[in-house]
Structure 1
Amino acid sequence: MNLHSLRVRLLLPVLALVLVFVVALTIALAMNQASHVREDAAQSIDRRTYALQSLFAVTRSVMLDRTRDAMRLLRSEGRRLGPPSVGGRVVVGGRNSNDLMLGGVSQANNFALVDGVTALAEGTATLFARDGDNFVRVATNVRKDDGSRAVGTQLDPTGQVIPFIRKGEAFYGVVDILGTPYVTGYEPIFAGNDTQRAIGVWYVGYKTDLKALTAVIDASQVLESGFMAVFDGKGKLRFHSKTGATTDAAEIERIASQNPQDWVVTRQEVPDWGFTLVSAYPKSDVEHVIVRQSLWIGGIGLLVCSLLLGLQWTLIQNRVLRPIQRLTVVAEELSVGKWNHTISEADLKDEIGKLARAISRLSYSVRVAMEKLAKQR
């Protein structure tokens, strides 16, 4: 194509302007889209977090009501046996401890009371006996991993319950028992009129039924590769997303603990559970969305550009180049003595029309002059 042709000279400025417009529009829309993607990701995390927090709250509320009812039953049945008192030394679960007596009857390795209560109220029940500054399970139906009763194990001396018991106060809430979260109730057992120093602890609890939470978290996904996860108070991963590109537990733990710079990680505490909700997604997910959107925008822009250039080409061809080509033929024929032309372009109201009318007058003048010259001969 001749770069000096009129067609190229007319189309190049249009092409340059359209390309600049398409590039500028693509950049502007891409930046706007990036903001929208980040906002959508944040809103999605907020919605899912709110739903999970609500499920945690409802689960705790329902199970606490059940726990309080079971505690009333345990205390009522215990009082029927008689007043509590400290017994002699016994062996429970291979450990030496003080015994807990109810109505003069030893409760060490005596599971009638705790099993009777849970037969009615379900859940788990335990009697703790004070042994120095610790409280040891002397009768329980809480099970260890191997399925045996957890007698001889002690109430976590660094846990959240022990400060309440040492002050002679009750505790109700979520507690990790042997690695499993329970909704629990703990109330001190006093001997006689002493309401300051507990000689033991009543306990009832229910293993948390988190099937609904598990289902929600399993299906949670943030953008393409993000995840949601729940960690307990000891930093152990309890639940995590099972969809999306990031489902490996070790990888989720690494991201949650290290906060990589190429990830957006947010945390939110779960009130009264000691759990932490972690939501995360890689920044590359946003970049991928931006690239895809930019390609779509750029492709549409180029299509529009092609359509505009095609329309401009057609207009230039029909309204400019073709009339000029016809007028050029007329001018060339005038130069060799042919002047009988009908110039239809003379009816146009634009510059082409002016040129056509000028050539038409020139043609008329040449014809008149040639006729006069012919008569003189």
Structure 2
Amino acid sequence: MFLHSLRVRLLLPVLALVLVAVLALTVVLAIAQARHVRADAAQSIERRTLALQSLFGVTRSIMLDRTHDAMRLLRSEGRKLGAASLGGRVTVGGRASNDLVLGSVSQANNFALVDSVTAIAQGTATLFARDGEDFVRVATNVRKDDGSRAIGTQLDPLGQVIPHMRKGENFYGVVDILGTPYVTGYEPIFADSDARRAIGVWYVGYKTDLQALSEVVDASQVLDSGFIAVFDSKDKLRFHSKTGATVDPAQIARIAQETPDGWVVSREEVPNWGFTLVSAYPKSDVDKAIVRQSLWIGGIGLLVCALILGLQWGLIWSRVLKPIQHLTTVAEELSVGKWGHTIEETELKDEIGKLARAISRLSYSVRVAMERLAKLSR
């Protein structure tokens, strides 16, 4: 009975129309939200990447200025000792190598020059001696992990510096020294008799102070579970996000290297550093954002639907159902001979008004007919 009532038949089309509109709006806004979330993630990555690239650039520029100053000091102090030449065989750090002689002073295991330079300019300094095609540290204050001086170690034969030294060219830039990045300067040392073949290398460098960079990366987060990470030239993870859901170094390294399904991974080289910036976020974060937004939209839509139905119900009750209910009562009472009713709905200008006026005329006609019948029966 309820399903066949007038109120249900009037409200159901409105309800169906509103629900379809809410559903369509939810789908459209969900698609738009997906684009918006992806665009926001891309913009967030771009802003952080630009900030990090700027920090790298400023750090390198400042430290290179210091490196050039320190190199000038090292060369000046070294040349005060005299012309450079290769000496006899010596043992440095347990390794046999040629000696480097400045004037008449052997530099093998002699740390006076390098320590005097770093006492003024700070940083690190080294003297290399050529041994065949290698360059061996014969005097240095670069330290190993155990704290000892790194004498007897050689310039990385596979690194970016040694080709320049073999060609007799200067090199300034970021170099990995014993596992730590340094902003460095390398200049070849020539004997007076041969200005083309380097017999050794002047070196100065500063361990990179990347505290500001570390703080920026630590606080970086892409969506809920994304991250930003910095890898060095040997693919060693140097810095990574420490907020959000993905903070485990092993997991970050795996995602950066393997680019698993379900992740959006982007890479960008850091000029002149050999570092790589990796930004990544799971596609599920976008899906979650879409679901949250859809639930909000659906909830708001249902609320609007309830408000519309409430308003529609109020209008239907006051403008349709209530007058019809009154007219129905009048008609039923007329059928049992009761006609003394006041029908206010006759003032309405719509179809219900027409019906009310028809019932009013019917009531009048029935009353007149009944009165005549009563007179005749007397």
TM-score (norm 1): 0.99
- Are residue 77 (structure 1) and residue 77 (structure 2) matched? yes
Instruction: Determine the structure 1 residue equivalent to 2:342.
Output: 342
Deviations 1:281-314 (A, max 9, x none): 1111111111111111111111111111111111
Instruction: Determine the structure 1 residue equivalent to 2:283.
Output: 283
Amino acid at match of 2:158: T
1:204 match: secondary structure: strand
Would you say how many aligned residue pairs link Structure 1 and Structure 2? Answer: 377
Mapped to 1, the partners of 2:336 and 2:146 lie a distance apart of 115
Deviations 1:37-83 (A, max 9, x none): 11001100000000000000000000000000000000000000000
Gaps of 5+ in 1: none
Mapped to 1, the partners of 2:67 and 2:193 lie a distance apart of 26
CA deviation after TM superposition for structure 1 residue 367, in Å = 1.6
Mapped to 1, the partners of 2:87 and 2:198 lie a distance apart of 14
Mapped to 1, the partners of 2:112 and 2:332 lie a distance apart of 123
- Are residue 90 (structure 1) and residue 90 (structure 2) matched? yes
2:290 match: secondary structure: helix
Instruction: Determine the structure 1 residue equivalent to 2:217.
Output: 217
Instruction: Determine the structure 2 residue equivalent to 1:40.
Output: 40
Amino acid at match of 2:303: L
Mapped to 2, the partners of 1:289 and 1:4 lie a distance apart of 42
CA deviation after TM superposition for structure 1 residue 376, in Å = 2.8
Instruction: Determine the structure 2 residue equivalent to 1:329.
Output: 329
Query: Identity rate of aligned residues, in percent?
Result: 80
* 1:1-377 alignment, distance < 5 Å: 2-377=2-377
CA deviation after TM superposition for structure 1 residue 371, in Å = 2.3
**Cα RMSD between the aligned structures?**
0.9
Mapped to 2, the partners of 1:16 and 1:283 lie a distance apart of 34
Amino acid at match of 2:108: A
Instruction: Indicate the larger mover: 57-66 or 20-29.
Output: 20-29
CA deviation after TM superposition for structure 1 residue 217, in Å = 0.5
1:243 match: secondary structure: coil
Amino acid at match of 1:345: E
1:145 match: secondary structure: coil
CA deviation after TM superposition for structure 1 residue 2, in Å = 1.4
CA deviation after TM superposition for structure 1 residue 195, in Å = 2.0
Mapped to 2, the partners of 1:36 and 1:195 lie a distance apart of 62
1:294 match: secondary structure: helix
1:247 match: secondary structure: coil
Instruction: Indicate the larger mover: 248-257 or 187-196.
Output: 187-196
Amino acid at match of 1:48: R
Gaps of 5+ in 2: none
Mapped to 2, the partners of 1:120 and 1:333 lie a distance apart of 115
Deviations 1:23-44 (A, max 9, x none): 1111111111111111001100
Kept in 2, the 8 Å contact 1:347–1:353? The answer is: yes
Deviations 1:72-103 (A, max 9, x none): 00000000000000100000000000000000
1:8 match: secondary structure: helix
Mapped to 1, the partners of 2:197 and 2:350 lie a distance apart of 108
CA deviation after TM superposition for structure 1 residue 193, in Å = 4.6
2:142 match: secondary structure: coil
Mapped to 1, the partners of 2:22 and 2:193 lie a distance apart of 86
Kept in 2, the 8 Å contact 1:85–1:104? The answer is: no
Mapped to 2, the partners of 1:275 and 1:339 lie a distance apart of 98
Deviations 1:146-196 (A, max 9, x none): 000000000001101111111111000000000000000000000015221
2:221 match: secondary structure: coil
- Consecutive aligned runs of 4 or more in structure 1 exceeding 6 Å deviation: none
Mapped to 2, the partners of 1:310 and 1:207 lie a distance apart of 72
